[in-house]
Amino acid sequence: MYTFSSKLKVFSFVLIIVGLLGIGYSFISAPKTTADVEKILEAEAHAHHGAHDAHAHDTHGHDTHSAEAHAEHEEHLNHVLHQLQNKPWAALYVAAIFFMLISLGVLAFYAIQNVAQAGWSPVLFRVMQGITAYLPWGSALFFILLILSAFHFNHLFVWMDPDLVNPESPKFDKLINGKKGYLDEWFWLIRAAVFIIGWNLYRYFSRKNCLAQDEASDNAFYKKNFNISAGFLVFFIVTESIMSWDWIMSVDPHWFSTLFGWYVFASFFVSGITVIAMVTLYLKSRGYLEHVNTSHIHDLAKFMFGISVFWTYLWFSQFMLIWYSNIPEEVTYYVTRIEQYNLPFFGMVAMNFIFPFLILINTDFKRITWILVMAGIVILLGHYVDFFNMIMPATVGDKWFIGIGELSSLLFFLGLFILIVFTALTKAPLLPKRNPFIEESKHFHY
Amino acid sequence: MSTKVIQALYNDDDILMDAVKETRKAHHHIEEVYTPFPVHGLDKAMGLAPTRIAIASFLYGCVGLSIATWMMNFIMIQDWPQDIGGKPSFSYIENMPAFVPIMFELTVFFAAHLMVITFYMRSKLWPFKQAENPDVRTTDDHFLMEVAVHDNEEELSDFLKKTGAVEIKVVEKH
């Protein structure tokens, strides 16, 4: 049995508290009115261009078109206000979806291992179940965020603005109006609830059956788990695709991409595998995983390597097809990212592809703990940036920054993740007893 | 000068593995082992050095990537930078996404083919090569271990018999 080290527990509490304080601060310090925004913009203009530009701006305000210019200016202020008010929400949203999807990625990996009757991984099943213990909590928190969005506590999803689908309104948007049969708050929330409940049901019953199999005298629970895992994988791939449209693509409701679901999947799947490897290495270093040897670690590292390359393949395929044909309604997605998010956009390719590719291509390196931990940290940060790049351009635009709000959201969810995962690991023995493949797995050697 | 070798034949890979380990323990030099299929762990038991062909392949891949990059930079950007369908040909990086499929394929092409050729050269394999098989049964269901003889023929063949060999032959090698 694993005992949660008190040091790690305290560490996770510190992360949660620091994160909460930072999140609170970022909400309080977000501007409330356009007057606040004006001050911020003026301060920025001073910092960037000096007094001269500000003076030129003033004289411009006095010309003959002053009324029109004033209205335009007001509109601009309103736009920036929405972006700045979105910032703490978007920071929370990115961190919440990132950690929830990590545990979902682990759940998918676990289901695949069950269905594939993998001979190497059963010694890691309890680790995977521990990580997926975050899913009920993470998805509940995330669902609350979705409800808050649907009830207009924030402007993360622009299509939720009722004026956009009202033909009488000056803000009427024909494109969004055409999608209103799908993009409807209630339909959207019900879909989300169905997905989250479905995933959690699988997670609950597969864990229950796995524990029951320990005490059983035949393989009935194992077979049950095999069947529900196969069913879950079908459910998962459908819901994963729709989830990616609903929760990520719909922040850009004018834009669409067909391989988006796969792209999102690859991103959180590799993150999930990386987290399995990191938790395994941690538990192993504490002496808890007697039967895990370097060959198991090597296999996880191969998955990290392979799925990193797979992610890059999808990233590039999506980017290159749109870049090549350059159709205006599609390409704006990348234009904003390359112009306003240049470093994160291309930096993540270095972090998610070039670095793991060059490090993890070596067989010997795939067995060395510190190299794997280093590669794992880079991969996880890289995929956080990936989700950042998916959400931020549509919600905060060029006002993005990885500051207190973003970092403290990340810390809060990291603390919560550590607390829940390692608490769950103490609840059951780390080695499944009567899994039909457990002996093979104990002696796995590559 | 001719040298003598003892060829010990086995009919089971498990027995062969044990025999190889015992022979190494007794400090007899194993010249070669012939098997009809790959025996997992045999290279380790024989103490063979690990292959470096993966390293060679990685380097060949780097060559392929360089050639692809150089070729397309010269042709599309330096030599005749035409406007083809509005693609920017001012610098390599501006038009790079269009070149990536070729860069990828040439990397794989070089890595794969040059590695295979390296393998053929290092293992001395070519179409009209004389087969070096000492006993035709080793391609079907027998395993053969060849051990060098240094004035200890009697003792060595007794030793090999004890390791489970089904047949022992002493052969003059030229």
pLDDT of A186 higher than 90: yes
pLDDT of A373 higher than 80: yes
Residues B83 and B117 in one domain: yes
A65 lies in a domain?
no
Number of domains in chain A: 1
Residues B63 and B115 in one domain: yes
B100 interaction partners in chain A (CB closer than 8 Å):
316, 320
Q: What is the pLDDT of residues A116-132, one digit of tens each?
A: 999 999 999 999 999 99
Mutate which of A323, A335, A364, A446 to test chain B, going by most B C-beta atoms within 10 A? A323
Residue A95: domain span? 86-442
Domain CATH for B146: 3.30.70.260
pLDDT of residue A42: 81
**Contact criterion met (CB < 8 Å) for A316 and B97:** yes
| Contact indicator for A103, A134 with CB cutoff of 8 Å | yes
B44 lies in a domain?
no
B86 interaction partners in chain A (CB closer than 8 Å):
326
Closest-CA residue of chain A to B94: A323
Question: Min CA distance, B87 vs chain A (Å)?
Answer: 8
Residue A354, both tokens: 């070039």
**Contact criterion met (CB < 8 Å) for A320 and B97:** yes
Residue B130, both tokens: 């004389």
| Contact indicator for A39, A54 with CB cutoff of 8 Å | no
B131 lies in a domain?
no
Residues B117 and B62 in one domain: yes
Choose among A157, A234, A236, A155: nearest CA to A189: A157
Residues B62 and B97 in one domain: yes
Q: What is the pLDDT of residues A328-370, one digit of tens each?
A: 989 999 999 999 999 999 999 999 999 999 999 999 999 999 9
Number of domains in chain B: 2
Query: Tokens 């006002």 correspond to what residue?
Result: A399
Q: With pLDDT > 70 as the criterion, what percentage of chain A qualifies? A: 96
Residues B72 and B104 in one domain: yes
pLDDT of residue A76: 86
B30 lies in a domain?
yes
A330 lies in a domain?
yes
| Contact indicator for B35, B140 with CB cutoff of 8 Å | no
Could you count the other beta carbons within 10 Å of the beta carbon of residue A122? 24
Judged by a CB distance cut-off of 8 A, whether residue B59 touches chain A is no
pLDDT of A176 higher than 50: yes
pLDDT of residue A61: 47
pLDDT of A88 higher than 70: yes
**Contact criterion met (CB < 8 Å) for B97 and A361:** no
Residues B27 and B56 in one domain: no
A45 lies in a domain?
no
Residues B118 and B57 in one domain: yes
Q: What is the mean pLDDT of residues A384-389?
A: 97
Query: Residue A120: helix, strand or coil by DSSP?
Result: coil
List of residues 6+ apart from B104 with CB closer than 8 A: none
Give the dihedral sign, CA A12/A17/A20/A25: negative
Poorest-confidence range of A56-65, A133-142, A193-202, B101-110? A56-65
Residues B73 and B118 in one domain: yes
**Contact criterion met (CB < 8 Å) for A363 and B97:** no
Closest-CA residue of chain B to A358: B58
Query: Tokens 């083809």 correspond to what residue?
Result: B84
Chain A and chain B share a number of CB contacts under 8 A equal to 12
Separation of alpha carbons A109 and A269, rounded Å: 8
Question: Min CA distance, B83 vs chain A (Å)?
Answer: 14
**Contact criterion met (CB < 8 Å) for A324 and B54:** no
The single-letter DSSP state of residue A202 is: H
pLDDT of residue A122: 95
B42 lies in a domain?
no
Residues of A with CB under 8 A from a CB of B: 316, 319-320, 323-324, 326, 361, 363
- Cα dihedral A135, A136, A141, A143, rounded to 10, equals 100
pLDDT of residue A79: 86
**Contact criterion met (CB < 8 Å) for A324 and B98:** yes
Closest Cβ opposite residue B97 in set A323, A361, A363: A323
Q: What is the pLDDT of residues A17-29, one digit of tens each?
A: 999 999 999 999 8
**Contact criterion met (CB < 8 Å) for A324 and B100:** no
Separation of alpha carbons A146 and A185, rounded Å: 10
pLDDT of A55 higher than 50: no
pLDDT of A81 higher than 60: yes
Residue A63, both tokens: 């010309």
Separation of alpha carbons B98 and B92, rounded Å: 10
Residues B153 and B92 in one domain: no
What is the value of ipTM here, to two decimals?
A: 0.90
Query: Residue B148: helix, strand or coil by DSSP?
Result: strand
Query: Residue A117: helix, strand or coil by DSSP?
Result: coil
pLDDT of A52 higher than 60: no
Enumerate the β-bridge partners of residue B147. Answer: B6, B30
Residue B112: domain span? 52-123
**Contact criterion met (CB < 8 Å) for A326 and B54:** no
B98 interaction partners in chain A (CB closer than 8 Å):
320, 324
Give helix then strand counts, H and E, for chain B: 5, 4
pLDDT of B42 higher than 50: yes
Closest Cβ opposite residue A324 in set B54, B58, B97: B97
B27 lies in a domain?
yes
**Contact criterion met (CB < 8 Å) for A361 and B58:** yes
Residues B13 and B74 in one domain: no
- Cα dihedral A8, A13, A15, A19, rounded to 10, equals 170
DSSP per residue, A366-407? GG-HHHHHHHHHHHHHHHHHHHHHHHHHHHTGGG---SHHHH
- B140, containing H or E segment: none
Closest-CA residue of chain B to A324: B98
A396 compared with A70, residue with greater pLDDT: A396
Stretch 92-111 of chain B: residues touching chain A, C-beta under 8 Å = 97-98, 100
List of residues 6+ apart from A208 with CB closer than 8 A: none
Structure confidence at residue A99 as a pLDDT band (50, 70, 90): very high
Residues B111 and B75 in one domain: yes
A323 interaction partners in chain B (CB closer than 8 Å):
97
Separation of alpha carbons B43 and B33, rounded Å: 10
pLDDT of A73 higher than 90: no
pLDDT of residue A63: 52
Q: What is the mean pLDDT of residues A391-414?
A: 94
A156 lies in a domain?
yes
Exposure string of A193-227, with b = 16+ CB inside 10 Å and e = fewer, is eebbebbbebbeebbebbbebeeeeeeebbebbbe
| Contact indicator for A13, A419 with CB cutoff of 8 Å | yes
Strand order in the sheet with B167-173: B30-34, B143-148, B3-10, B167-173
A21 lies in a domain?
no
Q: What is the pLDDT of residues B106-152, one digit of tens each?
A: 999 999 999 999 999 999 999 999 998 899 999 999 999 999 888 88
A363 interaction partners in chain B (CB closer than 8 Å):
54
Structure confidence at residue B172 as a pLDDT band (50, 70, 90): confident
